[in-house]
């Protein structure tokens, strides 16, 4: 089933403009996000082909099956509670049965974690993004030779520098393990390549050094340490960085680069929106989708604040959320039985109509 099928068969019972345009945080370049609810035909609901949600390729248009919609409401999912609380001028389709579903049925202290807790995971994500922005990784991947060091006087010297000073080619070296010394190897040298040494590195993508068979009477010319843990971490960082580069939104990245703050300003704006909404829900038992703090949030998006300043503000906001949760009159969790009865009643009403059977 596709979005076109939902439209053709008139299965959409609720549809709203969502995202930045619903929050009042849109700018001239903002996309139009659509979210909604559909009812699965009764014949399909009774079968094995249950479809929980349908979206387009870019995920900016998403419809949730009525049962999945209720499940996410009960979990206090921010996107779904916001969808149910959409401003009237953002609602495009609303079947009469939707009038019976109100946010008050589902709002609970879970919002402390689903809004506030999720927002703080985004702060951590921003920290990780900050590292990527301010610490770019060169596209030419390092090999293990750059993570090897040779004992020198009272310290250590990078292997590549040591090889250069002594005019030694790594291909003419042979390594052997040193018993009881993890990742430490004896270095042997065969300038004429007559002893069959394998070298230190065979391929640039090698994950460890090579070992060779060494004649018993040959003495090492040095001792090498391979920082295996450092290389493993570098490979992980390299992979994550270049996956991020491949998937990142270039327009957003260029905007972030221009203000030079070192974080994704749009992501941080929505982080603070969620943090403030968490406090509002716990204190007022309502959801305010259209943001009264629009100017403050847009100032974050424009890069007005320094990164560490926002982190401090987020930590303080979380303390206010904790206090609001202690004061809140909301139930700890939604009334599951009431929600289930409502879902059954709505399905029963809809399935009395021929087009939904």
The CATH label, of 3.40.1580, 3.30.70, 3.30.460, 2.170.120, for the domain at 1-106+334-357 is 3.30.460
pLDDT, residue 15, reads 97
The confidence score (pLDDT) of residue 19 equals 93
DSSP label at residue 195:
S
State residue 178's pLDDT score: 93
CATH 3.30.460 in the chain: give the residue spans. 1-106+334-357
What is the Cβ-side half-sphere exposure of residue 205, based on CA atoms within 13 angstroms? 1
Q: Which two tokens stand for residue 96?
A: 């009469």
Distance, in Å, from the CA atom of 235 to the CA atom of 16, rounded to the nearest integer, reads 44
What pLDDT is stored for residue 260 in this prediction?
Answer: 56
Contact, 84 vs 101, CB < 8 A? yes
Question: Tokens representing 90?
Answer: 């953002």
* pLDDT attached to residue 129: 58
* Helix (H/G/I), strand (E/B), else coil: 192: coil
All residues at 6 or more sequence positions from 73 whose CB lies less than 8 Å from its CB, including other chains: 80, 81, 84, 101, 105, 106, 334, 339
Residue located via tokens 């008050």: 104
- Per DSSP (E only), the strands in 169-210 are 173-177, 184-189
Q: Following DSSP, what letter does each residue of 223-292 receive, concatenated?
A: EEEE-HHHHHHHHHHHHHHHHHHHHS-HHHHHHHHHHT-SS-HHHHHHHHHHHHHHHHHHHHS----S-T
* Residues in the chain where the model's pLDDT stays below 50: none
pLDDT number for residue 249 = 59
Distance, in Å, from the CA atom of 51 to the CA atom of 30, rounded to the nearest integer, reads: 30
Chain position carrying tokens 């301010």: 134
* Strand blocks (E) in 19-172: 33-38, 53-55, 61-65, 91-94, 148-152, 155-158
Rg (the chain; Cα; Å):
30
Instruction: Give the C-alpha separation, 249 to 257, whole Å.
Output: 12
Non-local CB neighbours of 186 within 8 Å, separated by 6+ positions: 175, 176, 178, 214, 220, 222, 223, 224
pLDDT, tens digit (0-9, with 9 covering 90-100), for 10-46: 999 999 999 999 999 998 888 899 999 999 999 888 8
| Pairing of β 53-55 and β 155-158 | unpaired
Q: Supply the angle between the helices 118-134 and 228-247 in degrees, to the nearest 10.
A: 100
């Amino acid at each position: 089933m596709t979005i076109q099928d939902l439209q053709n068969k008139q299965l959409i019972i609720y549809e709203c403009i969502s995202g930045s345009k619903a929050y009042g945080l849109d700018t001239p370049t903002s996309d139009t996000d659509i979210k909604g609810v559909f009812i699965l035909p009764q014949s399909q609901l009774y079968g094995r082909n249950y479809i929980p949600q349908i979206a387009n390729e870019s995920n900016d248009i998403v419809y949730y099956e009525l049962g999945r919609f209720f499940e996410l409401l009960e979990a206090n999912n921010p996107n779904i509670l916001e969808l149910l609380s959409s401003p009237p001028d953002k609602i495009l389709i609303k079947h009469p049965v939707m009038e019976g579903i109100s946010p008050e049925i589902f709002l609970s202290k879970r919002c402390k974690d689903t809004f506030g807790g999720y927002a703080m995971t985004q702060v951590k994500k921003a920290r990780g993004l900050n590292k990527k922005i301010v610490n770019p990784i060169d596209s030419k991947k390092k090999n293990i030779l750059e993570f090897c060091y040779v004992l020198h006087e009272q310290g250590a010297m990078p292997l590549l520098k040591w090889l250069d000073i002594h005019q030694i080619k790594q291909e003419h070296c042979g390594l052997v393990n040193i018993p009881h010394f993890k990742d430490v190897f004896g270095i042997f040298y065969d300038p004429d390549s007559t002893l069959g040494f394998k070298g230190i590195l065979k391929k640039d993508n090698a994950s460890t050094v090579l070992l060779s068979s060494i004649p018993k009477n040959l003495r090492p010319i040095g001792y090498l340490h391979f920082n295996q843990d450092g290389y493993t971490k570098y490979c992980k960082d390299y992979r994550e960085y270049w996956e991020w580069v491949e998937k990142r939104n270039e327009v957003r990245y260029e905007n972030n680069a221009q203000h030079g703050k070192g974080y994704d300003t749009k992501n941080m704006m929505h982080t603070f929106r969620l943090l403030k909404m968490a406090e509002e829900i716990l204190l007022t038992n309502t959801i305010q989708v259209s943001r009264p703090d629009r100017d403050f949030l847009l100032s974050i998006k424009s890069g007005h604040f320094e990164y560490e300043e926002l982190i401090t503000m987020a930590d303080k906001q979380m303390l206010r959320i904790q206090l609001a949760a202690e004061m809140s009159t909301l139930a700890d969790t939604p009334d599951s039985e009431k929600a289930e009865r409502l879902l059954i009643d709505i399905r029963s009403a809809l399935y009395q109509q021929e087009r939904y059977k």
